[in-house]
Amino acid sequence: MEIKVAKSAGFCWGVKRAVNMAVEAVEKGKGKALCLGELIHNRREIDRLKKLGMKFIEDMEELKEGDTVVIRSHGVAPQIVDFLKRKGTQIVDATCPFVKDVHEKAIKLQKEGYPVLILGNPKHPEVIGIAGHVRNPMIINSLSELETLPKMAKLGVVCQTTLNLNFFREAIALLSLKVKELKVYNTICSATSIRQRETRELAGKVDVMLVVGGKNSSNTTKLYQIAKNVNPRSFHIESKEEIDENWFKGAESVGITAGASTPQWVIEEIVEKVREISEGGNRSGRGVCETVRGEL
């Protein structure tokens, strides 16, 4: 059974940067640092960081003067940063630079007199952070919501960096019919676009598709939705323990991709588990397992 791993699978640059900054913060804090919420959306990597000494908190009232506080890769509203400064904490800002770019573009739209619309999940921490940079933004996550909008003279648009590209295109096409002066910034991260394209292509070339990453990860969930639309034998997993050998019955090829918040060591565990299943199948006549890192 051939195993094909998507070329871009795993940590994007922004996530890798955030994790490295968090580890450095723990080391400088002599085994202690705090993070507001989850640094990234991957439960297993969060568990690893906890073992290194990082504490994840939701209540900022727990903070004390002098604490080292890491701002998650998804970013936060300016009010949060102001609060941390007033508390006298040492701030390590691990916000992804691509997310910061969305903040700047949203602010720019507001200064130019455009009402701001954010395309994305209103409950996602990245979107909550973006919304905190402008006054009264609209946040929309579906075409049905967009259809209810009235006609407008002006509108400025930014989007969650992990938004599905096809949804973005459909949303802008719909808005162009409703808004006389529409200014749009496509703030989908390039890493997101590349992963979505590779996932779509790989899922169409293999018998079984595995998408590896946190169940609470927006970008991983979108990869799974894309894969499932192309290949019904697609599965979203966080760990090798979730893999069912029955998924691979009669399969000659398996595709593996992973979200931008999935560490390489988790991907390697998945590959090894699939290899074990495949090699176990050789006794029943199945082909030799070969692993290929994709060149999609």
Contact yes or no for 194/4 (Cβ under 8 A)? no
Q: How confident is the model at residue 281 (pLDDT cuts 50, 70, 90)?
A: low
Average pLDDT of span 101-108: 98
- Percentage of the chain modeled with pLDDT above 70: 94
Cα 290 to chain centroid, rounded: 29
Cα–Cα dist 1/282, whole Å = 9
pLDDT confidence of residue 296:
44
Q: How confident is the model at residue 22 (pLDDT cuts 50, 70, 90)?
A: very high
Contact yes or no for 220/192 (Cβ under 8 A)? no
pLDDT confidence of residue 30:
73
* CA dihedral over 92, 72, 102, 238, signed as positive or negative: positive
pLDDT confidence of residue 294:
57
pLDDT confidence of residue 288:
40
Tell whether the model's pLDDT for residue 223 goes beyond 60. Answer: yes
Tell whether the model's pLDDT for residue 274 goes beyond 80. Answer: yes
pLDDT digits (tens, 9 = 90+) for 28-43: 887 789 999 999 999 9
Q: How many CB atoms are closer than 10 A to CB 257?
A: 32
pLDDT confidence of residue 290:
55
Q: How confident is the model at residue 92 (pLDDT cuts 50, 70, 90)?
A: very high
- Main-chain phi, psi angles of 280, to 5 degrees: -65, -35
Active site residues: 126
* CA dihedral over 226, 230, 232, 235, signed as positive or negative: negative
Between the alpha carbon of residue 233 and those of residues 11, 253, 263, 264, 290, the distances in Å are 24, 12, 24, 23, 20
Tell whether the model's pLDDT for residue 276 goes beyond 50. Answer: yes
Average pLDDT of span 196-206: 97
Q: Which domains does the chain have, with CATH numbers?
A: 2-10+191-293 (3.40.1010.20), 13-95 (3.40.50.11270), 98-188 (3.40.1010.20)
Tell whether the model's pLDDT for residue 8 goes beyond 60. Answer: yes
DSSP 158: E
Tell whether the model's pLDDT for residue 280 goes beyond 50. Answer: yes
pLDDT digits (tens, 9 = 90+) for 226-239: 999 999 999 999 99
Q: How confident is the model at residue 283 (pLDDT cuts 50, 70, 90)?
A: very low
- Main-chain phi, psi angles of 51, to 5 degrees: -65, -30
Tell whether the model's pLDDT for residue 64 goes beyond 80. Answer: yes
Between the alpha carbon of residue 203 and those of residues 53, 143, 207, 256, 257, the distances in Å are 38, 25, 8, 9, 9
pLDDT mean across residues, the chain: 93
Q: How confident is the model at residue 286 (pLDDT cuts 50, 70, 90)?
A: very low
